[in-house]
Chain A
Amino acid sequence: DGGITQSPKYLFRKEGQNVTLSCEQNLNHDAMYWYRQDPGQGLRLIYYSQIVNDFQKGDIAEGYSVSREKKESFPLTVTSAQKNPTAFYLCASSMGLALEQYFGPGTRLTVT
């Protein structure tokens, strides 16, 4: 089955530690995206990538980093510089000029 997978579903970390969230897609989509969702805030864009080895900052990129070494994978690292990392993180992908973005199931990150 084609789709987007995010792992793990729940992630717990101590403050000051970097943590990497996984996002993999087998839809052969060119573009991938990371969003953060907080209660009452909707979804906010962190980073996106249109092609391999290229990515752009979104609205709230500070404290986050990404890589796009393979078409299928777009991992997100939440660094210790992110002041309020506890949130629900959603990964999405889309094909070329097609418009629909398909979303993964999300990862709930809790930092204490």
Chain B
Amino acid sequence: AQTVTQSQPEMSVQEAETVTLSCTYDTSENNYYLFWYKQPPSRQMILVIRQEAYKQQNATENRFSVNFQKAAKSFSLKISDSQLGDTAMYFCAFMKPRYSGNTPLVFGKGTRLSVIA
């Protein structure tokens, strides 16, 4: 079974600074997908970024980027120029592709990020 570990329960960062959230996972699969989801105080889950394991290039979405290290099974999220609206729980998630249908996500326990003015 796949597992996802987020070793930092809580983090804080000054506004406009850069912060990196860690995520490691365990799988025997070669092809899979990784995600970062954000859950602000409203509790609405929002997809931040995704990475396909077969792609060597790290995914980037505006101020959000990942450092994907397949051999190390590591998938960290970097937030640049942090904004107050980035304050949220961040969840790392793993999905094994099943080409005949959908597969559920396996989530880590989350990292609570506070952006301080």
Give the complex CA separation of A88 and B45 in angstroms.
12
Partner of B45, one of A41, A50, A51, A103: A103
Give, as a whole number of angstroms, the nearest-CB distance from A74 to chain B: 13
A45 to B43, Cβ gap below 8 A?
no
Chain B residues with CB under 8 A of A40? 9, 109
Give, as a whole number of angstroms, the nearest-CB distance from B112 to chain A: 10
Chain B residues with CB under 8 A of A94? 102
Chain A residues with CB under 8 A of B95? 99
A100 to B104, Cβ gap below 8 A?
no
What is the interface of chain B mostly: helix, strand, loop, or mixed?
loop
A72 within 8 A of B: no
B110 to A90, Cβ gap below 8 A?
no
Given contacts A90-B45, A105-B43, contact A45 B104 (CB under 8 A): yes
A30 to B102, Cβ gap below 8 A?
yes
B101 within 8 A of A: yes
Chain B residues with CB under 8 A of A105? 42-44
Mark A39-83 against chain B: 1 for CB-CB distance below 8 A, else 0.
Answer: 011111100101100000010000000000000000000000000
Report the nearest B residue to A50, measured CB to CB.
Answer: B101
Chain B residues with CB under 8 A of A58? 104
Partner of B102, one of A31, A88, A102: A31
B101 to A31, Cβ gap below 8 A?
yes
B-to-A contact residues, CB < 8 Å: 9, 33, 35, 42-47, 50, 91, 95, 97, 99, 101-102, 104-105, 107-110
A-to-B contact residues, CB < 8 Å: 30-31, 33, 35, 40-45, 48, 50-51, 58, 88, 90, 92, 94, 96-97, 99-103, 105-106
